[in-house]
Structure 1
């Protein structure tokens, strides 16, 4: 496993060097292997050729021997020699002329006969060189004994009688018996000279092929390196200038340059589009790197902060604001924790003014999904807040006007009645008349007193006494009391196991009571009031009060919570206004849906856990 890193470390660092090294291996290895195989096969072919030639000579000598050694021993007299030496001499004299003839016809070749019966060399040509060997016996380890014993021909290379030779030995078989063997040999030096000449030729051709391949590789790698270096220089320039186009060289590398130019144009178009969008949007956009340094600032952000991009690029994000300004930075929080923020309202203390903005921040990631920074979008709400404040002030003034008008209207009617009664009684001395109209005057005074009491409760609500409340039990108690004062049927559909709500129980009783009273007043004679509860995802308790009464006209739906708005003859218009105030104090919501002639549905949503509102 450690070998691979070591080999990688040995490779050249440049493409040209690696290409040259790979080409060297690709060219030299096949040529070297081919040369080796050619030399090896050539040497074997040479040996086979030599062996076939030598065996051909032995067959000629075998044919010349005829019926065997015995006829040559009988000679012209027909009598065999008296002893072994004489027999060897007679065979040598008879066979030497032919062996010399064969040897002279094949320079460098030695031929001869060996008699098994005489156990001696009987002839060895050319005799002028090797006649001294006639009559000698081959050594015990000589391969000729194997031929004599097996009757099989053999081709051997090694040191023998005449030295280091290539020796072909042919058994002489007559009447099924091996009577000797014939040899034809050639000195190995001659064979090696021919093989060496062939080796030199193969080596020269291989070296020439390798050199030619390396030369072509060098030329091609130099041209490829020049083209690639041109592309590298062009890409380096494209880092700062995407409008720069690469000059395409010929071939496939040129096609790469063309594709790179196309990618650069597409990237330039995308960057131009992005820059145009950033320059045209009205919201401020600020981007920072992983260290919180500013990397981008669009014109809207420049106008908000009072800084130009050239002044703050590379500076910490906090440098955009007053040195002593303290604020919770959503951007830096996102950069530190990775938590994104959407539409968070903040006050930013810029160098010129404090901006009221809605902040949205998120992380910036590269193509490998690695964090490279963060971006924040600043939506200026300063003007909107100013306009909203003016609208709220106008709404309060309008509400105050309506409240004053309502109070004046509600107070004027009882006062008018009281004044009329007093004028009438002022001119009457009849005690009966006083007794008759005095209760009427008292009722009008009580009406004024009730109005003042409701106004005090509406204008100065007491702080809620928060404790766990079981809404189902509260609804059962209130509906039981209210149901006795009406002919309407109250149907309860209360969700079992509803969690406790942190609330002011007495205030909620007033809410439910007012809603039931409104529902009973909307029903002409008999009808049904349905009260249902539900648990919404464990976050809110939902209370629905629905009736099948007369309903509310569409133009009056937006006014039902306004003080002193009432469609009933004797209503003060403070009941639903008080309900709305109590629900707001519990951080809940109330909605009304109604269809004239079909009934009204009021929906309350109260959080299970009470928390102080933002305004408190």
Structure 2
């Protein structure tokens, strides 16, 4: 009997662990695959955006940067063009560490600029090889992303043609070292792995606790049924919890079978018990949602003063925690604009402010708003999500009796709004990471709010930056007046 009890409990624990582990591992695998693909796609979009930005900064053709009336050699032209254009590429490169960016001239067949020049100035004047993908861009006039060994080394390289009056005069590239990209992917996978490990650990603890509780009750049922084999007058004792219906129903069945022949009664009893056991085994193998429902049923049937109610509440809380973890991993999408319309951004901010008023009152904090009328064409839900994320981040980061200030204004070539919160500043080494997926300084944060915010802002060719102030932090969002067509 002891061996049977141990064997049954082991199978029960194993089946519950499998029921929890398989969905979590499957979701984890799919999530890692999707997030990795999304990260690579996001890298491509980011590199294309840098290249297009550099194209917009080039006024006219390369010839317009050369002095007229002089018979210059190719080397002199390259030197002059480099002096004129290198500051443009360096500004972008230095603002984005790890980025390589520059101009290539088709006529001169040479690299004109390569930022950051402090690291890559030795590439100036070089011609790309005949099998370099840049040759295809110059020939076809089509943008291209290639990964492999190129001028800078092993890189992910986005290239776009420079077209002036339907003529291709060169191309622009923006790249990152594949080692940097792979490092970011590895860091992301490492965080997801830790989340899955935590989820599996919690699931196993829950499975162990539930199976231990159920196993004891089932052992009593099994032992009692064993006694009935020899004594049909014996009845199953009552059991606390949701399984108390099993002894009741079995005892009712025995009472009815007593009126029939011994063999029929014994056969029917075993069949009924087998059906109950099969149904119970099926319920035990249900996914995490079924385990939560099953635990809630146990809690509802307990007396209010039952000491185990607190234990059941802890189990439910931990199950909900697993649900929250699995739901965030599935939510790194990419934002999609479904309905774009002309929006008054300042009015949208005013409509969103009431959502944080309760938290501000709890912290006895002050709200200051200085909103100039600004308009843009965007998806209302996406833009409001940006505002909500920044406001919530500010409220959660400020101390009691602090200050939150929001400001909007129209600049010469852009519109912008900023959110300031008083409190601690962000360490310089962490500022570069706050927009990375799954990076958070908050105790219960998943590190997705600022990532999603940045993705939405970049969808409209915007830029979000973080700046430490004397007594707090400011997040600034800037959109160009003329947005691209989506």
Name which of 122, 130, 139 aligns with 2:112. 122
The alignment covers a number of residue pairs equal to 264
Secondary structure in structure 2 of the residue aligned to 1:243? coil
Runs of 5+ in structure 2 lacking a partner?
A: 268-486
SS in structure 2 opposite 1:123?
Answer: coil
Matched residue, 1:154: 144
Match of 1:63 among 56, 71, 74: 56
Question: Cα deviation per residue 1:24-80 (whole Å; 9 max; x = unaligned)?
Answer: 3322222122222222222222223322222222122212222111112x32xx135
1:25 to 2:30 alignment? no
SS at match of 2:168: strand
Query: Who is 1:169 aligned against?
Result: 159
Larger RCO, structure (CA 8 Å, separation 6 or more) = 2
Residues 240 and 53 (structure 1), Cα distance of their counterparts in 2 relative to 1, 3 Å cut: closer
Q: 1:365 deviation in Å?
A: 9.7
2:253 corresponding residue in structure 1: 263
SS of residue paired to 1:29: helix
| Equivalence for 2:95 | 105
Contact 1:80–1:87 at 8 Å: present in 2 too? no
Match of 2:446 in 1: none
State the Cα distance separating 1:224 from its structure 2 match: 2.1
Task: Evaluate the alpha carbon distance shift between residue 267 and residue 45 of structure 1 in structure 2; reply closer, same or farther with a 3 A threshold.
Answer: closer
2:26 & 2:230 partners in 1: Cα distance? Answer: 52
Change in 2 beyond 3 A, CA 1:14/1:71: same
Task: Tell me the residue number matched to 1:242.
Answer: 232
- Compared CA separation, residues 37 and 81, structure 1 to 2 (3 A): farther
Per-residue CA deviations over 1:281-303 (Å, capped at 9, x if unaligned) read xxxxxxxxxxxxxxxxxxxxxxx
In the superposition, relative to structure 1, how do residues 155 and 80 fare at CA in structure 2: closer, same or farther (>3 Å)?
farther
C-alpha distance in 1 between matches for 2:104 and 2:94? 20
CA change 1:367–1:218 in 2 (3 A) is closer
CA drift at 1:81: 4.3
The match for 1:505 is none
Q: Which runs of 5+ in 1 are unaligned?
A: 1-11, 275-363, 369-616
Deviation at 1:130, TM superposition (A): 0.8
Give the 3 Å change call, closer, same or farther, for CA 81–27 of structure 1 in structure 2: farther
Mapped to 2, the partners of 1:201 and 1:171 lie a distance apart of 38
Deviations along 1:558-580, whole A, 9 cap, x unmatched? xxxxxxxxxxxxxxxxxxxxxxx
TM-score (norm 2): 0.50
Q: TM-score, normalized by length of structure 1?
A: 0.40
- The verdict on how the C-alpha distance between 1:17 and 1:365 changes in structure 2, with shifts beyond 3 A counting, is closer
Aligned partners of 1:248 and 1:257 also within 8 Å:
yes
Moved more, 144-153 or 46-55: 46-55
Query: Could you tell me whether the CA contact under 8 Å between 2:102 and 2:112 is conserved in 1?
Result: yes
1-structure distance, mates of 2:165, 2:46 = 27
Shift of 1:270: 5.1
After the TM superposition, which residues 399-414 of structure 1 pair with which residues of structure 2 at under 5 Å, given as runs? none
Contact 2:141 2:161 in 1 (8 A): yes
SS at 2:237 equivalent: coil
What SS is found at the alignment partner of 2:127? coil
* Alignment map for 1:426-441 (pairs within 5 Å): none
**Whole-angstrom CA distance in 1 between matches of 2:191 and 2:71:** 56
Q: d(CA) in 2 for partners of 1:247 and 1:13?
A: 21
Cα distance in structure 2, aligned partners of 1:125 and 1:46: 24
Is contact 2:254-2:265 (8 Å) kept? Answer: no
Change (3 A) 1:101 1:80: farther
* Distance (Å, rounded) in 2 between the aligned partners of 1:14 and 1:365: 30
SS state of the match for residue 233, structure 1?
A: helix
Larger Rg: 1
- In structure 2, what is the Cα distance between the partners aligned to 1:25 and 1:232? 24
Task: Report what 1:49 is aligned to.
Answer: 42
Alignment of 1:178-193 (within 5 A): 178-193=168-183
Query: CA separation in 2, counterparts of 1:229 and 1:56?
Result: 65
